[in-house]
Structure 1
């Protein structure tokens, strides 16, 4: 066999580096929680949806206005100290919503956009030329339904969510933040009035389209809790509503109000309530405090081990290929077995002494394996070592197997040192 190896040192290092980079990419993809099936644009009412009832336009509008926008697929996003925007589905659990709002009271402000439309993808019965005009995520809006679970929220959050359809001669107007305009449809959702809330945007009939939760005067919530704002009429903020410049300006004003007049510049749109939650796993936790320090130490240790793997710890133990050919190895084994059976250990001393003398003389650059010449050369090379002649004399004088082995080891150690 030739002395060539399968991979060079550079090739092996490249393989290790590429594999490590792919591992880090896998970690990042798992942690980011990306949906490889289309990013969540499924036509429902959330920040990843581009349909009429979605809020992708609101997220882009806030980004253009200078806010730092995050679309969170992790439950940890509910703990943000910035503004949290919730878009719960029609069948949300009031106990779960109440728990989230309670936890947010001392963490940060919250904006809850209630659901409205029953939205469906275009049916397959439509003509092909009509269906071809629909872009991914587009929907058809049908009836509007209020969220019944708002009445079961704990105090001071609870209220009744209602729906009203205006007559043809009635204008679906709205007013708030020193602006006014019309809603895109005559079907309006609103919240019943309450002493624990205050209106932020109303319609032409005085119905509350958006409200802020105040709580009872003198209560801990009234004095210390962060703001919670409910948007009962989502057409003020969804992609359908933002088609109008005035409603878009009102949407920005409402979000700035929820963010304490812009003092908070980080806004998180939660997607876990809409079915896009990503569970925690050991790989993502390994790259988060307090486990990040241990992970960095482990990576540093791996780098050190990898670096040492490319460094030689000393001269090679043997040349390329087997030290002894297979036939000679079997012959030696058979000879050793014969000596062992015959118990003629004394026959081993003299041949091994002669063999060691030749090898040591060759390493010292001597022409002949003369013990005196070897001692002189060894005194110059390794002055602290026992003379060769004394070692070989001890081997020749040995008779017991243990003494023969000890003397042979002394010669072998000298050979290795040279």
Structure 2
């Protein structure tokens, strides 16, 4: 049966378009995976019941983020320590056990970078306790929490000046919720528990309780200091129920939350970043993240382009390749030639002398019928068989003493000539 070159192989079950689509989809998914790993966004659950900008529980601030987006603000959630250096309004939501030294360092660094709004923690929160009726527990969605005991942080008194203050709290009689007022607004807190501070110096009171205790304030610093004259002011919200999801259930508290953001960010058009690193969602820089950042981004794009070119070239020749003849022939002759070529390249000709002399000795012994050939027995047999010929031992010694390639070749030819005379 006549065949054509390239036939005899099974045809590919896929068309070029199918293969191209699979390759492009796989390449896009691979690049996306590299990017998200480098950015630290690997799908971790941020709805863990804590109080931060992505939490939907009563103590969280996802509602505030959505409210600000609805008001036209550009809102982002920052998982990177580099986000702490933004010139936009930064909202910090540290936990009850936050590190005062770390918080103080962030606030000091931001004095000349941008405005900061710090919402203090208040509630112990968790999932429904054991014993909760199943019909009630089944209504809980992911991220929902049950508020426990109100408990203020003690690290605020350890902050550096001018940020230091003490947070206090009280729980009123049931049904007697505290009222608040400030920024031309007023209303009630959602519970009978209130967090406040009595600090009065170096601050501007923004929201207070009806008895004058401070619920939110802006840090002014001492008059005449660099902070007072030049720094971006920092706003502390001591009572988080003014801004958390629990508090935003009331329209008046939603309005005061917006007013506090405007006060901290100095008006409309402010971009806002909710920090998540203080809540355990920070991601450190790695080689992948650096690869997608200047100045390494240019090299990364070049590598991606080169990969596309290589992939396209491979796609254009997609299919089985006809097998050609082997570049290196098989067999003893090729093995010998390759071994000889290696010795020539290495210039180790002296390694050939002793093995060749031993090989020649065995061949001559076989030709002369000597069971256990040695130099003396071969010389004696040669003298009887070929009188007048140069003895084997002398030729072998000449090969062993040869140093240059030319001398080795001539000595080996003398032994080969002797073998030829015996086998004629």
TM-score (norm 2): 0.71
Q: Deviations over 1:52-85 (max 9, x none)?
A: 1111110100010001111111112111111100
Q: Deviations over 1:234-277 (max 9, x none)?
A: 0000111000011101111111111111242x111111111111
Q: Which residue of 2 aligns with 1:411?
A: none
Q: Which residue of 2 aligns with 1:288?
A: 293
Q: Do the aligned partners of 2:216 and 2:236 also contact (CA within 8 Å) in 1?
A: yes
Query: Which aligned pairs between 1:12-411 and structure 2 lie closer than 5 A?
Result: 13-34=20-41, 36-37=43-44, 39-167=45-173, 171-264=177-270, 266-309=271-314, 320-323=322-325
How far did residue 91 of structure 1 move?
0.5
Q: Deviations over 1:104-161 (max 9, x none)?
A: 1111110000000111210122121221122222222121111110000000000011
How far did residue 31 of structure 1 move?
4.2
How far did residue 172 of structure 1 move?
0.6
How far did residue 302 of structure 1 move?
2.5
CA distance in 2 between partners of 1:202 and 1:130 (Å): 36
Structure 2: gaps spanning 5 or more residues: 1-6, 339-424
Q: Deviations over 1:210-254 (max 9, x none)?
A: 000111111111111112100000000011100001110111111
How far did residue 304 of structure 1 move?
3.2
Q: Do the aligned partners of 2:39 and 2:289 also contact (CA within 8 Å) in 1?
A: no
CA distance in 1 between partners of 2:253 and 2:330 (Å): 92
Q: Do the aligned partners of 2:125 and 2:147 also contact (CA within 8 Å) in 1?
A: yes
Of the structure 1 ranges 94-103 and 8-17, higher mean CA displacement relative to structure 2 is found in 8-17
What root-mean-square deviation, in Å, do the aligned CA atoms of Structure 1 and Structure 2 show?
A: 2.9
Secondary structure in structure 1 of the residue aligned to 2:245: coil
Q: Do the aligned partners of 1:159 and 1:194 also contact (CA within 8 Å) in 2?
A: no
CA distance in 1 between partners of 2:264 and 2:330 (Å): 85
Secondary structure in structure 1 of the residue aligned to 2:211: coil
Q: Highest Rg: 1 or 2? A: 2
CA distance in 2 between partners of 1:77 and 1:240 (Å): 27
Secondary structure in structure 1 of the residue aligned to 2:164: coil
